[in-house]
Amino acid sequence: MLDFRESVIALSYIVAAVFFIFGLKHLSSPATARAGNRLAAIGMALALGVTLLDRQIVSFWTIAIGTLIGAAIGVYFARTVQMTAMPQMVALFNGMGGGTAALVSVAEFLRLTRAGDAIGWGEGTSIVLGTAIGAISFTGSIIAFGKLQEILPGRPLQFPLQRLINAFILLSVLGLGGFVVVGGGGPTALWLLFAAALVLGAMFVLPIGGGDMPVVISILNSLTGLAAALTGFVLHNQMLVVAGVLVGASGTLLTLLMSKAMNRSVGNVLFGAFGAASSDAVAATSAVGRTVRQTTPEDTAIALAYARSVVIVPGYGLAVAEAQHTVRELATDLEKRGVDVKYAIHPVAGRMPGHMNVLLAEANVPYDQLLEMDQVNGEFPQTDVVLVVGANDVVNPAARDDPSSPIYGMPILDVDRARNVIVLKRSMGHGFAGIDNALFYNDNTRMLFGDARQSLTQVGQALKNV
């Protein structure tokens, strides 16, 4: 029988689990999402608060100081990070969670072996999996962070014998894991397993291109959930099992939804040699040696001023140049002249699904001007001017027309069907997928080179003189 204190803890955990479930439910609908996040936070506060009542906890100093430092770091970064850097921030926090799960598993193993308790195969398996998955998620997330932050090259990193080396590391992780479960090796074997899993996590993400990072982060997110659930088995704590599995399952579903939005299968993302295929394609198309037509801010302003309908296609380049406010001002000026202005949002514009909506909402763009891909694609043939600001792969007609293109089959915005297309771009560099874009060479396409915010400001000024 549980005594009073243990009952309070156990019942509070059930309440917290209900908060998490309602939180998730509310998070999946726009109107209630913020409330959902808060519900989950309340559940978390409750779960952590009652855990402090646990008799197993005898010293509070480490917990208090550790929580204070961790919370300070977390809140500082969460509040100061630019909205454009949101994806890598999620990756970093996810890595922290993975690291926690691994360390908890290792520590519990050390405690049990030192106490001389026999570790059953169920507990042993949970410890091994918790350590391995947590460690993989930790280094994997850090590499994903590095790629998105552009500390590491976004292109897939490949080297000779890569698959062989990865297979060897994977086998060592499995072998060491089995060894620990059957009771051989002790702490040394678990530490080696921990180290091998850390290497495996990094090796697993390095060969994946930067464009696929959202899917990778989503996978790592559900892996961390699973690792948390496994520590629940180790510590005999149902709260950890429930919350961990909730994230593991919903994260898996989210991964599937996301890769569907990008028209990539999860297997393809993880193991497809995306970069290798695209380097051939680059060579093939740029060898044709077609030229692009440049335009000036003044000509752009005239084209926009005399248009009846303008569709703006924002991409990550807009976010990098922090031009979302400038683009909104330009749009307002055009509307005052009676031009119909809309924004076309590709599902994966930015670096993550939904990322661009967040960025434009931050710049106070009215929600009813944001059109999704399916709504807007039929309208392009009747659109006078399409202004592509820092988007590239999501407007590449090769995805629709060229079966040899590595992005063939990805749903795109059909901007090439509009009457005029003006592309704002820093240079003729390639997009995140690293491939050439046929749109730039079309007869009805004009290029306006330069920093997106500067170009837009110049267009805005020129517009006043039209």
Q: Give residues 176-215 in contact with other proteins (rule: CB under 8 A).
A: 214
- Between residues 64 and 428, which has the closer beta carbon with respect to other proteins? 64
Other beta carbons within 10 Å of 418: 25
Confirm whether 393 is a catalytic residue.
Answer: yes
> Among residues 298, 362, 379, 384, which is the contact residue for other proteins, using CB under 8 A?
362
| Minimum distance from residue 224 beta carbon to other proteins (Å) | 5
Q: Which residues of 387-406 are buried (b: 16+ CB within 10 A; e: fewer)?
A: bbbbbbbbbbbbbeebeebb
The first and second tokens of residue 151, run together, are 């500390």
Report the helix count and the strand count for the chain, using DSSP H and E: 18, 6
| Minimum distance from residue 33 beta carbon to other proteins (Å) | 5
- Between residues 250 and 268, which has the closer beta carbon with respect to other proteins? 250
Q: Alpha helices, DSSP H only, in 149-293?
A: 162-181, 186-205, 213-235, 238-261, 266-271, 274-286
| Minimum distance from residue 423 beta carbon to other proteins (Å) | 24
- Between residues 198 and 246, which has the closer beta carbon with respect to other proteins? 246
Q: Give the interface segment with other proteins, choosing from 178-186, 202-210, 355-363, 450-458 (CB under 8 A).
A: 355-363
What's the one-letter identity of residue 105?
S
52 binds other proteins (CB under 8 A): yes
Sheet with 340-345: strands ordered across: 370-372, 340-345, 309-314, 385-389, 420-425, 445-449
> Among residues 38, 293, 308, 337, which is the contact residue for other proteins, using CB under 8 A?
38
- Between residues 349 and 423, which has the closer beta carbon with respect to other proteins? 349
What is the SS3 assignment for 323? coil
> Among residues 148, 173, 198, 261, which is the contact residue for other proteins, using CB under 8 A?
261
48 binds other proteins (CB under 8 A): yes
345 forms bridges with which residues in the sheet?
A: 372
Task: Fill in the DSSP letter of residue 117.
Answer: -
171 binds other proteins (CB under 8 A): no
| Minimum distance from residue 114 beta carbon to other proteins (Å) | 7
Residues in the interface with other proteins (CB under 8 A) total 118
* Site of tokens 């890769």: 259
Q: Give the interface segment with other proteins, choosing from 216-224, 302-310, 438-446, 451-459 (CB under 8 A).
A: 216-224
Q: Mark residues 53-72: x for contact with other proteins by CB under 8 A, - for none.
A: -x-xxxxx-xx-xxxxxxx-
Q: Give the interface segment with other proteins, choosing from 39-47, 143-151, 285-293, 415-423 (CB under 8 A).
A: 39-47
- Between residues 101 and 301, which has the closer beta carbon with respect to other proteins? 101
| Minimum distance from residue 304 beta carbon to other proteins (Å) | 19
Q: Which residues of 100-125 are buried (b: 16+ CB within 10 A; e: fewer)?
A: bbbbbbbebbeebeeeeeebeeebbb
290 binds other proteins (CB under 8 A): no
33 binds other proteins (CB under 8 A): yes
Contact (CB, 8 A) for 213 and 351: yes
Other beta carbons within 10 Å of 374: 9
Q: Report how far residue 304's alpha carbon sits from residue 332's, in angstroms, rounded to the nearest whole number.
A: 12
Q: Give the interface segment with other proteins, choosing from 151-159, 349-357, 403-411, 442-450 (CB under 8 A).
A: 349-357
| Minimum distance from residue 256 beta carbon to other proteins (Å) | 10
- Between residues 213 and 438, which has the closer beta carbon with respect to other proteins? 213
What's the one-letter identity of residue 125?
T
Other beta carbons within 10 Å of 17: 19
97 binds other proteins (CB under 8 A): yes
Q: Which residues of 256-271 are buried (b: 16+ CB within 10 A; e: fewer)?
A: eebbebbbbebeebbe
Residues 230-259 that bind other proteins (CB under 8 A): 231-254, 257-258
| H or E segment to which residue 160 belongs | none
Q: Alpha helices, DSSP H only, in 378-464?
A: 398-401, 452-464
> Among residues 10, 15, 46, 103, which is the contact residue for other proteins, using CB under 8 A?
103
> Among residues 227, 301, 399, 423, which is the contact residue for other proteins, using CB under 8 A?
227
Contact (CB, 8 A) for 43 and 50: no
Name the active-site residue from 212, 393, 414, 416: 393
> Among residues 2, 8, 41, 284, which is the contact residue for other proteins, using CB under 8 A?
41
| Minimum distance from residue 124 beta carbon to other proteins (Å) | 12
| Residues taking part in catalysis | 393
